[in-house]
Amino acid sequence: MQKLVIEGGTPLFGEIITQGAKNAVLPVLAACVLCEGKVMLRNCPCISDRYASARILSALGAKVTAEGNSLAADCSDLSSDDISSSLMKTMRSSIIFMGALLGRTGKCTLCYPGGCNLGPRPIDMHISAMRKMGAVISDEYGVISCTAPEGLKGCRHSLSFPSVGATENIMLAAVTAEGETVISNAAREPEICCLGDFLRACGAKISGDGGGRIAIEGVKKLTPPPEPFEIIPDRIAAATYISCAACAGGELLIRDCAPAHLEAVIPVFEQMGCRLRVFGSNIYIYKKGRLKAADTIRTMVYPGFPTDAQAILMAPLCTAEGTTVFVENIFENRYRHADALCRMGADIRAEGKVAVVTGVPHLYGTVTEAPDLRGGAALVCAALGAMGTTEISGISYIDRGYEEIEQVLSSAGAKISRMTEEKQ
């Protein structure tokens, strides 16, 4: 078991290069299943979720090699369509292998996915969509068996909620299905566009991704892109490092971060009193003095304020002058970090969808544990600005989405180190 030890109170100065997007690389790795040949990817973040996806590909018979942020996956000779329970439970996004395997082999066996405990995230929409396309699916004792005896057929899907995962799964299943597939009320996230760009590079016929209506005309097969495909920057990682500067003070240049993907987040930091400048693909942040409370923050589907940034923005607002109200509209169980922040001295009252944060003069270092991926990142942000030393355990959650977070922050002057916890 490892922990992060953070000595707060040191302003940050320097540059941070934004890692590749966690939520973009995972569906692209699943999409490699559809290609008969060697796919080359660049800007793949070195995070545990990437490794988990690579292990799934290897278990299916793919040949996966990686060097730093470059990865190659050759799915020419798949030997299995069965994903074990232990592999499925490593992350929530493992469910998107359903659409990819049905599209490639016409069958698959998997179980319910794992990941952070953020409340109910049913996969009913995924299963319903696959059935509508001709898949026969049985669900017994948590094992999902899928077959498409007559192949998948294109059809129209109208999603009751613009689910990112369901949109991705339908896209993966539809690119080699017979006929046209139309997804109405589709998710619009940049990660959807990244998947669309990758599939088009492989020969898929897709239009409308990034909007509410995606049209897909099935093709017989996909082939690897002629050039290495580059994963987009991680907008949530970029927001996290901006928040680190907002908590600790100082000035940072966040490079290669696709500012257009952060248009719902940047104004909140500006309301708080941070000075931000956007130029090209970079964001500069300068913070000095006490922050101010922000207007009510309501999480929404893209292009609204992202639920993944809710905890991250709550950390600096714990010491802002005034009161900020959060309304969480996406997940039911996404204030688990509030108790940990309160142990650091924050004044947070959370009930149901609403959390009220009243700023206090200072937070204080303590011994705490990451409750989930983004909650863990919020604790890192808070610890950088707190008085004293904070020890954060359970950092396997943080490693799911952040590439060597202690090294990245150390390069900007933070006093942070990774240590092995002593066994009791």
CB count, 10 Å around CB of 407? 11
Given a contact cutoff of 8 angstroms between Cβ atoms, the answer to whether 225 and 39 are in contact is yes
The answer to whether 125 and 159 have CB atoms below 8 angstroms apart is yes
d(C-alpha 122, C-alpha 400), whole Å: 21
Rounded to whole angstroms, the Cα distance separating 62 from 77 reads 7
CB 232 within 8 A of CB 190: yes
Q: How far apart are CA 267 and CA 403, in angstroms?
A: 26
Q: How many whole angstroms separate alpha carbon 309 and alpha carbon 334?
A: 11
Residue 119 region, left (φ>0) first, then alpha (ψ -120 to 50), else beta? left
Measure Cα distances from 81 to 100, 102, 220 in Å: 10, 9, 19
| From 35, 44, 75, 116, active-site residue | 116
Nearest 10 degrees: CA dihedral of 175, 179, 184, 189?
10
Are 76 and 39 in contact, with CB atoms under 8 Å apart?
Answer: no
Active site includes 116? yes
Catalytic residue positions? Answer: 116
